[in-house]
Structure 1
């Protein structure tokens, strides 16, 4: 099958096949890939549908980008996905490179491209970004273009709250693609244009907030490789904005993900890096979250004393928080969230009484706010606390409430809480309540 996309771009550029081959050789040398060989015959093969091996697709895209004067991707040329998944794990010191990577990531997300479906979560990929966020100085200016006004950025920031509410109330799987399309059409293009210094700062802040939210939604939807890439790029944009509290907030999300995926030591380290970043910022809510997430990690590391101390530090920090003085992205850091996460900490420490107490407080707050996802996860923590005291009947009742709330949202974390309950009920064998819960859980999985 012929590659009509490549043929179209070749016509648009005005290059002949021989000229394209020549420029590819020159670009390969620039990229320190002198072994790359091409010819007019090879160009014909590509036009006939053959996909060249890496790094040729990215080199070809760079040639067309130089020729037409704006960004052309391997996807535009019909040459596959290029190095997008790998590049999105890199914390690039170049602002310009960061803009291109995050824009490509958003487009790939909306187009459901193959590299995202197979993109794995990379263990320890947060080590470099968290270090560089604390230390880096930036080195490049954005590309020229129509000047961005402060009003443009205000419009972007006004949209953030609506998308965040969508995530909190309906789960990350509900609105992520809508947000990604909005970012592709209205936000990432602004990053490529020229700005005054003050506008550039608030624009990067707004873009970082919403890129973080894309990552968080992907995380909640079980798309962990994609989530990790969004979070790393969000952290880089936060650095560009000069907002240390926002960067710490992004590190909190990275810490949460690392702990969830089985690396609590890395989760703790990321949370600690976030707390260090708050040395130059004031966000008691963010500090409370970071202590909370460190407690979660410490519980899994079986350090009971340190975990309990981290919970206390989280509560002390939140006591100083004033919601009206916090950034909008911190709105979810509230009693429903913190009590729920502390319940999980005490659950993992085997302290059923403390887990029960915190879970019930979280459930009450979540119910008053109609937050089904948080309610489901805290009901699951409550059910586990009952299991830890061998009260299967109470655990079953809380488990059914977990199922009912999980049906109201699209959240892989809530579904995983259900599966975790099933695993924890296994020691009770073929008891009728276990069988009933498993049957109800199967109905949930089938509906999903």
Structure 2
């Protein structure tokens, strides 16, 4: 891993001195931190942080970032930071920094879900610093990829491409699942920049890697065939193949059945938008209806934005029976502030 190659990214949200930390410097900053009141940390403390991070990740996808992030932030401040300031064997302290980097990455991801993009970027930068200090290549690459996802969702394709490429360059020894995880994001970012040939090449690379992937993936920062179908849909959409994008998103939805609630709601909303764009109003209403089934259980800024968009898109069609029924149901279901006057 050579973080020194990551340059300042000068576009929109990322325009302020976004330089990936150099691991030796990060180590020095961590070592100079004020010590906490505990006298020593051990492996049980590292396992506690890792287990809590897994639980918070599951809560995030079941209930949304607005519900989970305050809990993650409180745990980070009240428990993890004191651990980082406490003495212990060098290997334990290094493992604690690695566990803390995972939690910072996850908390940044939750902030993105809330729509708090500046806050998310700060968490991501802290995750990079901790990952560099602990020589945790996996979280270092995962965080760069997360920043790429944030950028591509904001329509900042060139920035997303730089970050996705940086993540891939820092993971030259990655296994097949991680390679698919990174190549899928490179495909999405490349498609958004208009480089369709590279997008298809990266997508094929992700497909080949997933065919080789084995074993259980982490609860967050992982990749599966549903995620691959999602990226296939995004690439097809960016290349103008809306019908192909719909088919791939439907496949992703089927693969996610029963798991990843927040992701499922988001993708169903996207699918409905694309169905409507191709003239399939009734199908779009059914898909939005499925999204509304889970909506009350998810507290997410990204989902709320999709619901606001739904009202705007459906309003011109309210003379249609299905559209009118959906509109009325949505008025009774979503948060009042999202309903247009």
Task: Using the TM superposition, give the Cα deviation of residue 229 of structure 1 relative to its aligned residue in structure 2, in angstroms.
Answer: 0.8
Work out whether 1:275 is the aligned partner of 2:188: no
2:28 is equivalent to residue 139 of structure 1: yes
Q: Distance in 1 between matches of 2:201 and 2:233?
A: 14
Equivalent residues in 2 for 1:408-419 (5 A)?
408-419=297-308
Please give the secondary structure, in 2, of the residue aligned with 1:122: helix
CA distance in 1 between partners of 2:24 and 2:309 (Å): 39
Listed one character per residue, the Cα deviations across residues 156-178 of structure 1 (whole Å, up to 9, x for unaligned) are: 21212111111122211112111
Q: Is the contact between residue 57 and residue 219 of structure 2 (CA under 8 Å) also seen in structure 1?
A: no
Residues of 1 paired with 2:227 and 2:148: CA distance? 16
SS in 1 for 2:171: helix
By how many angstroms is 1:435 displaced? 4.9
**Aligned partner of 2:146 among 253, 260, 270:** 253
Separation of aligned partners in 2, 1:344 and 1:405: 23
Unpaired segments ≥5 residues, structure 1 = 1-90, 92-120
Q: 1:133 to 1:362 in 2, by over 3 A?
A: farther
**Structure-2 residue corresponding to 1:5:** none
Pick aligned residue for 1:358 from 226, 248, 258: 248
TM-score, structure 1 as length reference: 0.65
**Structure 1 stretch 338-347 or stretch 242-251: which is displaced more?**
338-347
Distance 2:35 2:297 in 1: 46
Which structure's relative contact order is higher, taking Cα pairs within 8 Å and 6+ residues apart? 2
In 1, the alpha carbon distance for the partners of 2:219 and 2:274 equals 33
Structure-to-structure mapping, 1:201-280, within 5 angstroms: 201-279=94-172
RMSD over aligned Cα atoms:
2.7
Conserved? CA contact 2:147–2:163, under 8 Å = yes
Summarize the alignment of residues 417-428 of structure 1 with structure 2, pairs less than 5 Å apart: 417-423=306-312
2:221 to 297, 321, 330: 330
Aligned residues between the structures: 322
Task: Report the equivalent of 1:123.
Answer: 14
> Partners of 1:187 and 1:208 in 2: how far apart?
10
Secondary structure of 1:374's counterpart equals: helix
1:400 is the counterpart of 2:285: no
Instruction: Please list every run of 5 or more consecutive structure 2 residues that lacks an aligned counterpart in the other structure.
Output: 4-11
> Aligned residue for 2:208?
316
Work out the CA distance in 1 between the residues paired with 2:24 and 2:236.
35
TM-score (norm: length of structure 2): 0.84
Q: Which 10-residue stretch deviates more, 245-254 or 351-360?
A: 351-360
